[in-house]
Amino acid sequence: MLSFGLRVRVVVSFAILSLAVAAAVSGATYVIASWYLTGERSDSALIRASLDARAVNSALAAGSRPGEALAVIPVVDGSQPMLRVGDTWFTSTVAVPPDSLPADLLAQAEAEGAQQRIEVAGDPYLVIGLPTQRALFVEVFPLRTLDRTLVIGGWGLVAVTVLAGALGALLGWYSVRRLLVPVDQLGNGARSLAAGDLDVRLPAAGDPDLDPIASAFNEMADSVQTRIAREQRFAANVSHELRSPMTAISGVTELLEDRAPDMDPRDAGIVEHLARQVRRLSRMLIDLLEISRMTAAENVEVEPVDVARMLTQILQQHGVDLAIMVGERPVVRTDGRHLERVFDNIVRNAESHGAGLRCVEILSDSHAVTVRIRDSGPGIDEELAKRLFEPFVRGDQADPTSGAGLGMAIALEHAGVIHAGLEVGRAEEGGAQFVVSVPWEISA
């Protein structure tokens, strides 16, 4: 079902309302003007015909011939006087032939006088017939000028109506634009806040009805910023406070591991299990410290970075065959430290949870360098893909001892610092596919 937005609905409503009002006013104006002008023309023609009939009657009474009697009548605005004496017609012009006059009109005019609108050869005329003592006087008045005036006036009113509709639409667009500015600002602010810009605030519009919206949003943003900052400080402080005892525990665990060969097999197994858990906890603390720092403001040091060379070094560190890397060797200007952490976390995730890397492909276009990293795992479903970059989220097939599920969240934070895109989905040949889009150059 077709659905229009608020802007379109308001603009269309204003346009329809303006058209309706303008059409009603224009229609009433045309009807009144037509009635008035037609009445004026009819009254003036009747007065003129009455005076001309008296003049003709006086001339005939004085002994003038019918033709001579008609000659004394001046022709005004193309009028045509006629005179019927018995069955004979006399006329000064032949614009309207006497035989084109309606018989019923002549019969009524001979009895008491009459008038009627007729058309001759497509032209409108007003015919007025008046009886005299010696003849029937008929005068024909052309109405072409009146009709043309009414037509021009009618089209003018149509144009005014259309213009009123356009002005109404323009007024509606301006009004809704002015009214929705705070709503647009609110939407943009909410999107910026959701994207991580905790400093976004809405300006006051100076309107007592709209300012409460901006004030409420700003209060919400302050509350969110305060809460996130408190949580960041809490995570950082807890992680920092745990580092010292964790370091001590790690040292003791390493000492016990060194003596494990001399221990009873059962005790050696307990030490090995303890060592794995201690290393896991240690990695978790390191990740927590890093992600708590990443959510704060980060300095960016822009430098030339050979993407292919960086990926080669990362693959070698993880013992991955370099033959899986294909594509170009672009050089971008970005912060190499952050970009390396993005790639390293993705490769580490693929090796730990994705059954190893399948392919690393490097492509580029005029906008960015794109790196597609595909693994050999079972793939990833849509629901997990939507939450994979959240802290402590892992797949169902993930090894619970391999990490706390912070690697992808950290990768996303590093990508955000250098304005790189990071997405995950299912590869065509199976397995998960991570796509990293790196701009050619960022500003420091």
270 with 390, same domain: the answer is: no
- CA-CA distance, 415 to 191, in Å (whole number)? 18
Give the per-residue pLDDT at 31.
92
Longest dimension (CA), the chain: 161
The domain total for the chain is: 3
- Tell the burial category of 246 from Cβ atoms under 10 Å away from its Cβ (0-12, 13-18, 19+): middle
286 with 319, same domain: the answer is: no
224 with 140, same domain: the answer is: no
Q: Which residue has the tokens 């009618």?
A: 154
If pLDDT is split at 50, 70 and 90, which confidence band does 1 have? very low
The mean of the pLDDT values for the chain is 84
423 with 343, same domain: the answer is: yes
- Choice among 266-275, 352-361, 365-374, 383-392 with the minimum mean pLDDT: 383-392
Dihedral of the CA atoms 68, 69, 74, 77 (nearest 10)?
-110
CA 345 to chain CA centroid, nearest Å: 39
Query: 112, 127, 150 — which closes off a domain?
Result: 150
44 located within any domain? yes
Structure confidence by residue, pLDDT tens digits, 334-365: 999 999 999 999 998 888 877 789 999 999 99
- Of 427, 421, 351, nearest to 389 by C-alpha is 421
12 with 113, same domain: the answer is: yes
- Tell the burial category of 191 from Cβ atoms under 10 Å away from its Cβ (0-12, 13-18, 19+): exposed
Give the per-residue pLDDT at 296.
46
- Choice among 22-36, 102-116, 375-389 with the minimum mean pLDDT: 375-389
Cβ-Cβ contacts under 8 Å for 303 (sequence gap 6 or more): 333, 334, 335, 336
- Of 316, 323, 373, nearest to 347 by C-alpha is 373
What tokens does 261 get?
Answer: 């060969």
129 located within any domain? yes
Asked if the model's pLDDT at residue 272 lies above 70, the reply is yes
- Other C-beta atoms within 10 Å of 60: how many? 20
Asked if the model's pLDDT at residue 309 lies above 90, the reply is yes
295 in Cβ contact with 233 (< 8 Å): no
250 with 339, same domain: the answer is: no
If pLDDT is split at 50, 70 and 90, which confidence band does 427 have? confident
- Choice among 321-335, 390-404, 408-422 with the minimum mean pLDDT: 390-404
- Of 27, 26, 19, nearest to 172 by C-alpha is 19
Q: What are phi and psi of 205, to 5 degrees?
A: -90, -10
289 with 309, same domain: the answer is: no
Q: Which residue has the tokens 């919400």?
A: 220
What is the residue-wise DSSP string for 5-68? Answer: -HHHHHHHHHHHHHHHHHHHHHHHHHHHHHHHHHHHHHHHHHHHHHHHHHHHHHHHHTT--HHH
Please compute the mean of the pLDDT values over residues 291-301 and round it to a whole number: 64
16 with 138, same domain: the answer is: yes
**CA of 378: how far to CAs of 39, 153, 157, in Å?**
91, 78, 72
* pTM exceeds 0.85 for this model: no
What tokens does 98 get?
Answer: 């006497």
357 with 226, same domain: the answer is: no
CATH number reported for the structural domain that contains residue 353 in this entry: 3.30.565.10
316 with 402, same domain: the answer is: yes
Query: 107, 133, 150 — which closes off a domain?
Result: 150
- Of 436, 442, 303, nearest to 362 by C-alpha is 436
pLDDT above 70: percentage of residues in the chain:
91
180 located within any domain? no
Q: What are phi and psi of 366, to 5 degrees?
A: -70, -15
- CA-CA distance, 42 to 65, in Å (whole number)? 29
If pLDDT is split at 50, 70 and 90, which confidence band does 185 have? confident
CATH number reported for the structural domain that contains residue 10 in this entry: 3.30.450
- CA-CA distance, 442 to 180, in Å (whole number)? 34
Please compute the mean of the pLDDT values over residues 379-394 and round it to a whole number: 78
Give the per-residue pLDDT at 86.
84
Helix (H/G/I), strand (E/B), else coil: 197: coil
What tokens does 389 get?
Answer: 């970059």
Q: Which helix (H) or strand (E) holds 139?
A: strand 136-142
Asked if the model's pLDDT at residue 2 lies above 60, the reply is no
Asked if the model's pLDDT at residue 52 lies above 50, the reply is yes
- Choice among 11-25, 45-59, 237-251, 286-300 with the minimum mean pLDDT: 286-300
If pLDDT is split at 50, 70 and 90, which confidence band does 292 have? low
**CA of 22: how far to CAs of 10, 12, 14, in Å?**
18, 15, 12
pLDDT above 90: percentage of residues in the chain:
25
138 located within any domain? yes
B/e letters for 29-39, b = 16+ CB within 10 Å, e = fewer, are ebeeebeeebe
If pLDDT is split at 50, 70 and 90, which confidence band does 316 have? very high
The one-character DSSP state at 441 is B
Asked if the model's pLDDT at residue 42 lies above 60, the reply is yes
345 with 426, same domain: the answer is: yes
83 with 130, same domain: the answer is: yes
Q: Which residue has the higher pLDDT, 221 or 368?
A: 368
Query: 135, 150, 165 — which closes off a domain?
Result: 150
Structure confidence by residue, pLDDT tens digits, 132-165: 888 899 999 999 988 899 999 999 999 999 998 8
Give the per-residue pLDDT at 390.
79
- Tell the burial category of 392 from Cβ atoms under 10 Å away from its Cβ (0-12, 13-18, 19+): exposed
Please compute the mean of the pLDDT values over residues 170-184 and round it to a whole number: 80
* Domain hosting residue 26, numbered range: 6-150
What is the residue-wise DSSP string for 219-271? Answer: HHHHHHHHHHHHHHHHHHHHHHHHHHHHHHHHHHHHHHHHTGGGS-HHHHHHH
CATH number reported for the structural domain that contains residue 226 in this entry: 1.10.287.130
Q: Which residue has the higher pLDDT, 100 or 238?
A: 100
